[in-house]
Amino acid sequence: MRPGGLAWECVGQAGAPVVLLHSLATHRDIWRLQLPAWSAAFRLVCIDLPGHGSSPAPEAPLTLDDQAALVCTVLDQLGIERAAVVGLSWGGMVAQAMALKAPSRVGSLVLAHTSAHTAPALREIWQARIDDAAQRGIDAQVAPTLARWFTPAFIEASPMTMAWVARQIRATSPEGYASAIRAIQALDHLEGLASIDVPTLVIAGEHDAAVPPQAASAMAARMPRAELQVLGGAGHIGNVQQPLAFTEAVGRFLRGVGHPA
């Protein structure tokens, strides 16, 4: 990490560069189940978005465009002109902003469990989460967040995995959490999707209540070079709930599109 910038680590030395952008209230460790397989084929750039993981909390709220610009700064530091970008949930929104505002930096996209527009009713729900975190703290967000992200059966069967994800949620700075949500509230990429002319894999979870398969399908339909894959049995964080299927689907796609440069 450079002073004042985002924290990052590179995993794997050979192959095309692939940027990994995590979900809200997690950090780059959320990709740990994918790293052994992907790092054998790609140069992975694992980034902590603002106020998450080891990246400093923003001094003022940052838009998705601001966050995308910070990711591009990391690529500049690494001498990477163009990369595949894999975004999970919030990370997928940042990935869209990169493709719209800095298209020369994005060779292909994976948009997993993410959306392109936040409806007014959902903005109010997000505001309630900001307010609750301000009043009761990040710890109070752990249980309801896990309940939104994972199916009840998976939560019951996977207590150690839930504890691992819970630690990531607790490690999120309140400022970073609020800044990210404000950016999500302003999300409005629907009209721009048709201009994203790079190979794109849209991933949905069969049981994802936040971004149902129908919503992901509608998003993919707006993109000229997108394909949709639905992960059976998965909720909102499919790379954790269905790690093998997620790893293989994304790896197969990235290998198929080749080097993004």
Tens of pLDDT, residue by residue over 14-26, are 889 999 999 999 9
Percent pLDDT > 70 in the chain is 97
Phi, psi (rounded to 5 degrees) for 200: -135, 135
The answer to whether the CB of 36 falls within 8 A of the CB of 102 is no
The yes-or-no verdict on residue 193 having pLDDT over 90 is: yes
The yes-or-no verdict on residue 3 having pLDDT over 50 is: no
Whole-number Å distance between alpha carbons of 1 and 44: 15
**Six-digit token pair at 28?**
């780059």
Model confidence over 78-137: pLDDT tens digits?
999 999 999 999 999 999 999 999 999 999 999 999 999 999 999 999 999 999 999 999
H runs (alpha helix) in the chain: 35-38, 64-78, 90-101, 120-136, 142-149, 152-157, 159-170, 174-185, 213-221, 238-241, 243-257
pTM listed for this prediction: 0.96
Q: What mean pLDDT value characterizes the chain?
A: 95
> Considering Cα of 235, then 87, then 114, then 127, what sign does the dihedral take?
positive
- With CA atoms as reference, report the closest residue to 189 among 167, 209, 216, 219: 219
For residue 259, name the pLDDT band (cuts at 50, 70, 90).
low
Mean pLDDT within 33-59: 97
The answer to whether the CB of 22 falls within 8 A of the CB of 28 is yes
- With CA atoms as reference, report the closest residue to 219 among 247, 196, 250, 240: 196
CA 189 and chain centroid, separation:
15
What local confidence, expressed as pLDDT, does residue 258 receive? 73
Angle at CA 164, nearest 5°, toward 159 and 168?
Answer: 140
**Six-digit token pair at 104?**
């020369």
DSSP state of 182: H
Which residues are within 8 A (CB) of 10 and not within 5 positions of it... i.e. 6 or more apart?
43, 44, 45, 46, 78
Model confidence over 87-101: pLDDT tens digits?
999 999 999 999 999
Instruction: Quickly list DSSP for 132-164.
Output: HHHHH-GGGGHHHHHHHHS-HHHHHH-HHHHHH
What local confidence, expressed as pLDDT, does residue 150 receive? 97
The yes-or-no verdict on residue 54 having pLDDT over 70 is: yes
For residue 4, name the pLDDT band (cuts at 50, 70, 90).
low
The answer to whether the CB of 184 falls within 8 A of the CB of 24 is yes
Q: Which domains does the chain have, with CATH numbers?
A: 8-257 (3.40.50.1820)
What local confidence, expressed as pLDDT, does residue 14 receive? 80
What local confidence, expressed as pLDDT, does residue 261 receive? 41
Instruction: Quickly list DSSP for 227-248.
Output: EEEEETT--S-HHHHSHHHHHH
